[in-house]
Structure 1
Amino acid sequence: MTTPPAPAPAATERIVQEEGAQLDFSRDMSYGDYLHLDQILSAQHPLSPAHDEMLFIVQHQTSELWMKLMLHELTAAVQAVAEERMAPAFKMLARVSRIMEQLVGAWTVLSTMTPPEYTAMRPYLAKSSGFQSAQYRCIEFMLGNKNPAMLKPHQHRPDLLAMVEKAWRAPSLYDEALRLLARRSLPVPASHLDRDWTLPYEQSDDVEAAWLEVYRHPDQHWDLYQLGEKLTDIEDAFRLWRFRHVTTVERVIGFKRGTGGTGGVSYLRKMLDVVLFPEIWRLRTDL
């Protein structure tokens, strides 16, 4: 099959005229101006001579952009749940799950990097590591995985420390969900409604009983039932993101220690065991 010839210049001009496309942006804001592409596309500065470092940088930078959007959506969703504006909360939470799907795909691209390719650039990374990501830590905290030790990597940057500490001290998405259940007269214990939000969440049989009431009578608690499923979607997607992370790391560096001093794969595998919304998962056995 032959490739059709490109339109002649005259034909191209006619198409532009017919479509009304604007070509001169000397006075108006262009696509690149709006997106600040000069700044974004000039922010990749490989430190090694390795060809594959560009992949490593772009993958992590784009992941941080997706995480910025995730935090934007999560922050608004937590507020919406607190104010019982459930329709917009559901839309935001659904978007969070889709963002996580994009992040899973990012690991798929990075997995094309082979061990020798990573080894060629690894010495140039010094002690920098993904677990130092302030945005990722805020996501973990907003989803309820509170750990004060994770504040320390940000102590050298007061602005980042303040951002992460704010998420650490605030009620998580799940905390606000349980407060909502209580306002709907479901039997959530006081110990889970007014507590030290900086402490890790502890699962409760009484909380599971409250969720069971929702799931056994979804017609009477439809928006709470939908909230439970949106939370399930998020944790499902988050587990896939974590799993894809650990398998990619094992594929690329094996069981070497991480650049930030963690155990690498061993550390990431421990994260797979963290359950964010335990009662919503447990109730499925008891229904």
Structure 2
Amino acid sequence: MTQPYDPAKDGAEMDFKDRMSYGDYLSLDMLLNAQQTWTDTHDEMLFIIQHQTSELWMRLALHELDAARNSLLGGKAHQAFKMLSRVSRIFEQLNSAWDVLRTMTPSDYTAFRDALGQSSGFQSHQYRQIEFMLGNRNTAMLKPHAHRPDLVALLEAELAQPSLYDVAIKALSQSFSLPDEVLNRDLPEAYQPHAAVQAAWTEVYRNPESHWELYELAEKLVDLEDYFRRWRFNHVTTVERVIGFKRGTGGTGGVSYLKRMLAVELFPELWHLRTEL
């Protein structure tokens, strides 16, 4: 008779009484007890885990974006490229998560929707921080966090820094002359497209061999925004599939608000120049 396999005989550690285990390292007790449902409906667990895991991925995206920005500022472009590629893959994961949430029908969601109160993904401070970091800056978006001075301070600190695109434009200015109103703009305000910036990026694309590092940077940014746009589109589609055109729990127009966000361009000149090539 075949004996059951015993991993200990191959050297696997089996006793963790006074040692760090997998669960200890990952704080799994805390993590797996954070799914507090407010109703006894089946699909509320899916809804909570979907959003909690999205917040974890966004935390990693922020970690990588901050490091990428610092690397670019420090002249370490290739290190930044790796980090930006990772952020694109993070948003690929976030995109796939919508497929799971779309298994929830309107009837499933309606059964527990009232328990959400006024809470909404619109209020995610990490999502707002990502948008601010990428350049979509709007100080009106600080208001949902006014009840948390610590979060307002975090977001205001981000607004005081150059966005990732500001840093990319600074790198562009090392090879091309750009106007002062671009290089020394009011950082908390949303970036406005500029003809001189588009002309410079266009030259990079016309002569990539002469400006390879800038060319690669531009494509990493386009990759990132491509995945980010898909995430927004999947968000709209999922919301429309589940609640139709009802208002969001946080008071936004729901689908109408999300569709408006689809028109937002993070790195506008990098998209507009393609028409000129």
Per the TM superposition, whether the score is higher than 0.5 is: yes
Correspondent of 1:51 among 30, 37, 42? 42
Which shifted more, 80-89 or 245-254? 80-89
Matched, 1:72 2:63: yes
Q: Mapping of 1:138-217 within 5 angstroms? A: 138-184=129-175, 186-217=176-207
Asked whether the equivalents of residues 187 and 207 of structure 1 are also in contact (C-alpha less than 8 Å), the reply is no
Relative to the length of structure 2, the TM-score reads 0.98
Matched, 1:12 2:20: no
Matched, 1:107 2:124: no
Partner of 1:251: 241
Aligned-partner SS, 1:236: helix
Aligned-partner SS, 2:61: helix
Quote the Cα distance in structure 2 between the aligned partners of 1:203 and 1:267: 23
Give aligned-pair identity as a percent.
Answer: 61
Q: Mapping of 1:116-127 within 5 angstroms? A: 116-127=107-118
Aligned letter for 1:248? Answer: T
Matched, 1:38 2:8: no
Matched, 1:283 2:276: no
Q: CA deviation at 1:183?
A: 2.0
Q: CA deviation at 1:169?
A: 2.3
Aligned letter for 2:155? Answer: V
Aligned letter for 1:73? Answer: E
Q: CA deviation at 1:35?
A: 0.2
Partner of 1:219: 209
Q: CA deviation at 1:28?
A: 1.1
Quote the Cα distance in structure 1 between the aligned partners of 2:8 and 2:177: 65
Aligned letter for 1:200? Answer: A
Aligned letter for 1:236? Answer: D
Partner of 2:53: 62
Q: CA deviation at 1:168?
A: 2.0
Structure 2 unpaired stretches of 5+: none
Correspondent of 2:231 among 207, 229, 241? 241
Structure 1 unpaired stretches of 5+: 1-6
Aligned-partner SS, 1:150: helix
Quote the Cα distance in structure 1 between the aligned partners of 2:214 and 2:228: 21
Quote the Cα distance in structure 2 between the aligned partners of 1:124 and 1:133: 18
Aligned letter for 2:18? Answer: R
Quote the Cα distance in structure 1 between the aligned partners of 2:199 and 2:68: 25
Correspondent of 1:272 among 233, 238, 262? 262
Quote the Cα distance in structure 2 between the aligned partners of 1:149 and 1:143: 17
Quote the Cα distance in structure 1 between the aligned partners of 2:160 and 2:95: 28
Relative to the length of structure 1, the TM-score reads 0.94
Aligned-partner SS, 1:228: helix
Quote the Cα distance in structure 1 between the aligned partners of 2:250 and 2:181: 36
Q: CA deviation at 1:82?
A: 1.2
RMSD, aligned CA: 1.1
Aligned letter for 2:9? Answer: Q
Aligned-partner SS, 1:183: coil
Quote the Cα distance in structure 1 between the aligned partners of 2:8 and 2:20: 19
- 1:130-178 CA-to-partner distances (Å, cap 9, x unmatched) read 0100000000001110111100011101111111111222211000000
Aligned letter for 2:135? Answer: G
The runs of 4+ residues in structure 1 deviating greater than 6 Å are none
